Structure 1
């Protein structure tokens, strides 16, 4: 008799053998002593099979934990690292040197203004400085000491007036060195490095003394105003761990202030934080989320969310193993939602459970058609 090799039959046989070798085994036996007297069912997976589907096992024990409180928030310019560029006397805008969104350096020109008051003060200073130069080298036979002191005081007073009006020391030096200075014009300069966040003016506009011309903010550090529901009475202070969450960024933040009044419309209270922004990914006006980590008063038994699945009757369950290969479903009661997962109230401490891949184990159990409550 001649035997022929059939490649199609051979492939089907090989495929069936592979499937049989890697398929998990669902085991059923007698009922064991459990809180709900569930039958002793389990899914058996070898170490190789566990690696293929990404199952990880860990021992759960009581440890310090934290509750996660999430809140919507808005980023604001840091009032301690920002300033408003404003004229100190009524002025007219002559020229703009920077625009909205520009990054400026200390001393950089922001805008050139004209003011009649400034013109008078500049003329007064030039006159006083000229008089002082004329007499300061003269001897006492030519001018009395008291007259010298009077002219020196007048010159210093005129200089102080220019400084009070916002003229810088460099601008005053330039004023007295120029042969024919342009009186009345002066330039507002950036006091610190930052970004122009506001510049609501046009050329030729008259700006009153004290009105905002530009808002310059250093965004290396920002304020974050988080809105907390009025019903939440948790104490949030500088020792509370907090993070600003925006897209893929999660930046540490510090609570610096919290309001003691409730917004009557939103029924929330404001908790202000400060966040460092070295990579310049955050900007004033953006909406972000804030996560507060509130330590629990006692240690908790916490399992990752991925370790939980639903049993056939809808209860939460985890898969416990004693040999790291056989996984038994155990229904559990959940407590508080914590930062690292869920608190489990009735799982024995020291249990070894599948902390990832539980969904796969549950699906294999479901595919077996085994009903633990009607078998």
Structure 2
């Protein structure tokens, strides 16, 4: 009878639950962008006298991209300078009149005191002096205003030389020699700095905790097989986007050989430090029925069903957050008639 009882105890295969590693590898789709990009507009109106660059040209900061000619601006500067000369002459005239009024007032004031001149004459001299002093102030203000206007025109003239704001590559050109450009509205060039590529990836909420500056990242491009571009997370948005529950993450990747281009599709593998404990079990150990998702754990020869929640699915294995502990033995491909509290014998232990 004892032999018969032993033969009625089912024999099961089990796997040992493994602890999750300290680093979580996450692979996500991403897009590359230029580290710096600028659309360059005309800052003054005129005609393109000479275009010095074209699409694909590499430039350094301060390099001349194009020259704009505007003869009417030169005439405005000449007119403003002539007006300034007139204002300066008017100031000299006002200063001379003020000096004459000072001398007259000083001389006549003594004569008024002695009775040789009337008080009315003394008032006229005093008020004339005050008026001439005000005229000098007005002339000085006119000169200051005109000098400011000349500086504005000269600054506008400096915009006739369109220069590169940073080192980069010309990726778009919308003007040619002779093109008419208008200040603030004519889009001339697009310049991108691609020696460093900025890679943008949206990390889902369940994987975003632990992402921060300094996290290692490997970037792979399908069209460049066998090549991995190493980088690090340099900045994160901190706040998740409400619509997608994802965290915008940027990775700066050195690109000295220029293999990476802005705007390409790539995959990013992040090595994220794990914030919460997790365990790994084989997918064959999962049971899904009307009670939900659970696994059969063998403890001291007895089966106990434990509910689990999956955090990540790797295909043959899954990562679970709770329900089991590292070292637990879970039944692989449990039979349909296997119930809570059943006695079993372990046939073979496999690694999960």
Aligned position for 2:142: 150
CA contact (8 A) 1:108 1:189 kept: yes
CA contact (8 A) 1:228 1:270 kept: yes
Aligned position for 1:196: 170
Aligned position for 2:217: 243
Q: After superposition, where does 1:1-375 map in structure 2 within 5 Å?
A: 36=12, 65-78=22-35, 81-115=36-70, 118-128=73-83, 140-141=95-96, 145-146=136-137, 147-163=139-155, 165=156, 167=158, 186-210=160-184, 211-227=186-202, 233-235=206-208, 238-239=212-213, 241=215, 243-246=217-220, 247-257=227-237, 260=241, 262=243, 271-277=248-254, 279=256, 281=258, 282-299=260-277, 348=327
Query: For this pair of structures, how many residues does the alignment match?
Result: 241
Q: Which stretch of the first structure deviates more once superposed, 250-259 or 234-243? A: 234-243
Residue deviations 1:176-218, cap 9 Å, x none?
Answer: xxxxxxxxxx221223333222222222222333232112233
Q: Which sections of structure 1, spanning at least 5 residues, go unmatched?
A: 1-34, 39-59, 169-185, 309-333, 350-371
CA contact (8 A) 1:103 1:194 kept: yes
Residue deviations 1:49-89, cap 9 Å, x none?
Answer: xxxxxxxxxxx9957523222222221234xx433321124
Change (3 A) 1:293 1:114: same
- Backbone CA RMSD of aligned residues: 4.8
Q: TM-score, normalised by structure 1?
A: 0.49
CA contact (8 A) 2:27 2:269 kept: yes
Change (3 A) 1:216 1:299: same
Deviation at 1:289, TM superposition (A): 1.6
Q: TM-score, normalised by structure 2?
A: 0.51
Which structure has the greater CA radius of gyration? 2
CA contact (8 A) 1:85 1:212 kept: yes
| Bigger fraction of residues in helix | 2
**Matches of 1:37 and 1:71 in 2, distance apart?**
35
Residue deviations 1:85-134, cap 9 Å, x none?
Answer: 21124432221112222222232211111346634543344435666788
Residue deviations 1:291-321, cap 9 Å, x none?
Answer: 2334434456789xxxx9xxxxxxxxxxxxx
Q: Which stretch of the first structure deviates more once superposed, 232-241 or 246-255? A: 232-241
